[in-house]
Amino acid sequence: MNTTIAALKDRHVVITGGTGALGASVVGALLKAGAHCRVPYRREADAERFPLRGDKAVTMVPAGDLSDEAQVNKLYADAAPLWASIHIAGGFAPGSVADTDKAALMRQLDGNLVSCFLCCRAALQAMQKTGAGGRIVNVAARPALEWRSGAGLSAYAIAKTGVAALTVMLAEEVVKDGILVNAVAPSIMDTPANRAAMPNAAYDAWPKVAEVAATILFLASPDNTVTRGAVVPVYGKS
């Protein structure tokens, strides 16, 4: 999957979760491809440490909670004519079914599935107004494709499985509008936080964020002309 230089020149893209490790790699790749990036953030500290915030093609937007419908609608209503929306924002928490209460379940559903649903909805409405088509890329996770691997991660796995299902259904609904919807499903990625949490793991087997970002970039670009409804495994060697 290769995306040509300047394939996204002057196209506007929203990237939720853009201040995180994967998000920053995606924003960097989009900028190299010529895109204008709209990056919502929840906390001022996230915006302040974002290394690309000074780029003239980056617009930082305080957005608060992306499971809040009004906040999401405002984020997309204020955006320029939208070509792509990439939904990386989410959260992780371990826990078996026996150890997960309703509040913990709802936090994972809100943070991963509800936020993705609302951003998909707002994005496609913005794209339909332009009539120029577009691309939506969601981020699921390995347990969304391999359910047994979600043992011990019950609420997270359920929420990410919902993201995968949403992706496939939405892709069918909007293909007539020239909007292609896909997702990636990473395994554990090689990030400083994951290394710190698992100091004895085999890091070399984990996919690198730049590699996952390259797949996202292709799916979000005009170079992707036929792929839709896919939940692409990005596992590296793990």
Phi and psi at residue 15, to the nearest 5°? -130, 105
Q: Beta-carbon neighbour count of residue 184 at 10 Å?
A: 24
Return the half-sphere exposure (C-beta side, CA atoms, 13 A cut-off) of residue 222: 16
DSSP 5-21: TTTTTT-EEEEETTTSH
Looking up tokens 């699921």 gives 140
**Could you identify the residue written with the tokens 């020149």?**
9
Pure H helices in the chain:
21-32, 44-48, 69-77, 102-108, 115-130, 142-145, 154-174, 192-197, 209-220
Active site (annotated) includes residue 76: no
Left (φ > 0), alpha (ψ -120 to 50) or beta: where does 6 sit?
Answer: left
Count of other CB atoms within 10 angstroms of residue 5? 10
Could you tell me which residues are beta bridge partners of residue 182? 137
Provide the CA 49 distance to its chain's centre, in angstroms. Answer: 20
**Which entry of 41, 76, 156, 235 is annotated as an active-site residue?**
156
Q: List beta partners, residue 62.
A: 41
Tell me the two tokens of residue 157. Answer: 């796995």
Q: Which residues contact 56 (CB under 8 A, 6 or more apart)?
A: none
Residues involved in catalysis:
156
